[in-house]
Amino acid sequence: MYAYLRGKITVLQPATAIIECHGVGFQVHISLITYSKLQNTENALIYTHLHIKEDSHSIWGFYDELEREIFLHLISVSGIGPNTARMTLNYISPEELQHAILTENVALIQSVKGIGPKTAKRLILELKDKIGKSATISLNIASMAVVDGMPSSRVRVEAVSALVALGFARQIAEQQVMKVMKGNEAIKVEEVIKLTLKNL
């Protein structure tokens, strides 16, 4: 229904953003990849997917069409919903994930929290042909954009908020974030979240 939103970023957090378009603010769920690429950006074009369930409608946003395409492939697999798809993209970049699917790297895919060996194998089985035939997807492995370091207090708050948004208890999230950041105050927020997810 919505192909993209173009407007002003009024709120940007690791798991969500609010994009104002002609006076209307759209709450958009985003991955850490999109979050990192939108840093220090006032106006943006966000590619979107409207996910409709019986009890809710939600908008999922992506920095580029490649990430959206991978996301749509992921949620087409039985047992993988939008939150698990985002969690996957928080762990693995779209380029790395497509390569893992084409090379049948089960170990990498099942390293994502919430994806076990059976789901990883089913994901590869169902998506290998689709990924291979996709015109948009490239096999070039690219590293995720990084941003300048932020004050550690802001990094801690944003990391905890993102983990709570992903469904983790605030107390546990705070404890794990503190462990990851101990002795490494200059660490970036997306790296804190990635490392914390591996520990939870």
Q: Name the DSSP letter for residue 9.
A: E
> Of 196, 28, 191, nearest to 113 (Cα)?
196
Residue 10 CB contacts under 8 Å (≥ 6 apart), including other chains: 18, 19, 20, 25
Residues facing residue 26 across a β-bridge = 19
138/101 Cα distance (integer angstroms): 13
83/105 Cα distance (integer angstroms): 22
- Across residues 161-186, what is the average pLDDT? 81
> Of 160, 9, 33, 36, nearest to 86 (Cα)?
33
Whether the CB-CB separation of 156 and 181 falls below 8 Å is answered with yes
Q: Which tokens is 117 given?
A: 């060996």
63/45 Cα distance (integer angstroms): 8
Domains annotated on the chain, with CATH: 4-62 (2.40.50.140), 65-133 (1.10.150.20), 152-199 (1.10.8.10)
The residue with greater pLDDT, 164 or 97, is 97
The residue with greater pLDDT, 147 or 156, is 156
> Of 56, 108, 61, nearest to 86 (Cα)?
61
For the cut 80, the answer to whether the pLDDT of residue 152 exceeds it is no
14-51 pLDDT, tens digit each: 999 999 999 999 999 999 989 988 988 999 999 999 99
- Across residues 133-158, what is the average pLDDT? 50
35/185 Cα distance (integer angstroms): 20
123/58 Cα distance (integer angstroms): 23
156/90 Cα distance (integer angstroms): 17
pLDDT for 174 equals 82
129/60 Cα distance (integer angstroms): 25
Instruction: Name the amino acid, one letter, at 52.
Output: I
| Lowest pLDDT segment from 48-57, 127-136, 185-194 | 127-136
Q: How confident is the model at residue 72 (pLDDT cuts 50, 70, 90)?
A: very high
Residue recorded with tokens 């940007």: 12
pLDDT for 165 equals 77
Helix spans in 39-93 (H)? 65-75, 82-91
- Across residues 101-120, what is the average pLDDT? 91
pLDDT for 153 equals 64
pTM as predicted: 0.71
